[in-house]
Amino acid sequence: MMDLIAALPVVPLQTLLVIPAIAAVVLALVPAYRIGARLNVIASGLTFLAALTLLVHRPPGDSGGYLFVDDLNIVFVVLGTFVGFTTSSFSASYIGHEIEIGRLTPLHLRFYHGMYQALSFAMNLGLLADNIGLMWVAIELATLTTVLMVGIYRTHDALEAAWKYFILGSVGIALALFGTILVYMAARPVIGEGHDAMVWTALVAHAHAFSPELLNVAFVFLMLGYGTKVGLAPLHAWLPDAHAEGPTPISAVLSGLLLNVALYALLRFKMLLAANPLAVAPGPLMVTLGLISLIFAAFMLYLRRDIKRLFAYSSIEHMGIIAFAFGMGGPLANFAGLLHMTMHSLTKSAIFFAVGQITQVKGTQRIADIRGLTESHPVLGWGLVVGVAAIAGLPPLGIFTSEFLLVTSTFARQPLLALPLVFGMVIAFGALLMRLSGIAFGKPSPSITQTHRISVLPLLVHLALVFAAGLWLPGPLVAWFQNVARMLG
């Protein structure tokens, strides 16, 4: 098997970029939306397969210092392409319904599918980039494609959301570029002028000799810039709107993928700072922003009246927990952070798969108008119940494991920090269960459509994975995560 992959003419590293790039062009040209939707699934599936080959055979980075793979980015790439694949299959049934009710036209869908693959290309490029400038370009590209998709319904609210997302995202990305330039400035006296001083592998090898003051200032800008894209409070304002007003598959991709890519960029620079003994420790800043996001979002959950906004705030809450975990650092907290990120991606996209179909059958996003789902649509209703139970952190599901690990390790090291962490989790838990009881149980509210064909496979696959991870984590996965957790320091 390994020999076979190694003998392929194109190494998997490039196929991860080539497949979505070609698919983006082809899908933009295919007029029939049904074929487009299928091709989208096939292209995403192939990208996922290409990502899986990285697990067994690791190709060397290209000689130019543009792309590379290590244990850290493989985790993100495999997770990202998997969620991209399942979301594309959910999207195929979702958009069929949108076409039927006339919210989208086939022309919109050509654009939508092309952008979906362009986004996949940009995210893979961002994750595999060895050059911090290239990484920045890729994340900017990912932002632009999602802005266009969020605005696709062209309603007042969708345009407002897209505009807000675009302006805040651009400012964030601009600050991140300034941070990137400062990192180059810090590297130049040590590594020398030119391309090499932007290559991440070279940067981290020489980081000990960089000017600590420049690195500190750079990290503040990078934290603000990429932190905006992670959705950390108080830089989160774009996130609920973008989730609520765009097509639901895009909400799933935003929560499941894009936030992770931005987080990945932050982790890379955190590792860079950690390699310099004189630079300020990035941990406390991440812990602070993480806690603010967690507690703020937990309280905001009580005020939401729109089901997609509710889960968008839940994403802010979980990104806060993840930032907290990586900010704490150390093998155990990093492990918990990685696991939490994986579980959150799977669970949150599963929830959005359910929510997308719920809003379609009920014809509304208002929580008050959605009642008694377990009675009227048992599969969707119970799927949502399990998903929300998972995201709220109930045992035996996967998120419970990671939250438990994080809380216990924090209590052991910094009991005072564990208190606000637990406080935020409990507040959020209450809000989610309170909302869930109304949505899932009681007398069902009327549905606007009876003929809706429900696609449950992506939802069930994700929930099954989350459930299995809560009971038992495979040995190789644990070993892999432990290794990455050590890398992260």
Partner 1 sequence: MDRFALDAAHMLAGGMVLVSFMLLYQNRMFGLLNVYALHAVVLSLSVAWQAHVQDAPHLWVTATIAVVLKAIVIPVALRRMVIRLGVHRTIETVGGIGPTMLMGIGLVALSMVVMLHAAADADPIAREDLALALSVILLGLLMMVTRHNAVSQIVGFMSLENGLILAATGARGMPLVVEISIAFSVLVAFIVIGVFLFRIRERFDSVDTQAIDDYRGGRE
Q: Please give the residue ranges that form the binding site for partner 1 (CB under 8 A).
A: 131, 133-134, 136-137, 140, 144, 147-148, 151, 154-157, 159-160, 162-163, 166-167, 170-171, 174-175, 177-178, 180-182, 184-185, 188-189, 193-195, 197-198, 211, 213-214, 216-217, 303-306, 309
Q: Alpha carbon 343 to chain centroid distance? A: 11
Residues 6+ apart with CB under 8 A from 448: 361, 362, 363
Nearer to partner 1, 183 or 465 (CB): 183
CB of 315 to partner 1, least distance (A): 17
Residues 6+ apart with CB under 8 A from 116: 27, 40, 88, 91, 149, 249, 253
Nearer to partner 1, 133 or 444 (CB): 133
- The whole-angstrom separation of Cα 278 and Cα 215 is 10
Report the 10 Å Cβ neighbour count for 184. Answer: 19
**Residue carrying the six token digits 């399990």:** 386
- The whole-angstrom separation of Cα 475 and Cα 482 is 11
Nearer to partner 1, 304 or 362 (CB): 304
- The whole-angstrom separation of Cα 134 and Cα 126 is 7
Nearer to partner 1, 191 or 469 (CB): 191
- Mapped onto helix, strand or coil, the DSSP state of residue 67 is strand
Nearer to partner 1, 112 or 400 (CB): 112
CB of 307 to partner 1, least distance (A): 13
CB of 198 to partner 1, least distance (A): 6
Nearer to partner 1, 213 or 375 (CB): 213
- The whole-angstrom separation of Cα 337 and Cα 402 is 7
CB of 245 to partner 1, least distance (A): 10
DSSP string for residues in 299-322: HHGGG--BHHHHHHHHHHHHHHHH
CB of 419 to partner 1, least distance (A): 30
Nearer to partner 1, 92 or 118 (CB): 118
Inter-axis angle of helices 132-150 and 238-245, to 10 degrees?
50
CB of 196 to partner 1, least distance (A): 9
CB of 286 to partner 1, least distance (A): 20
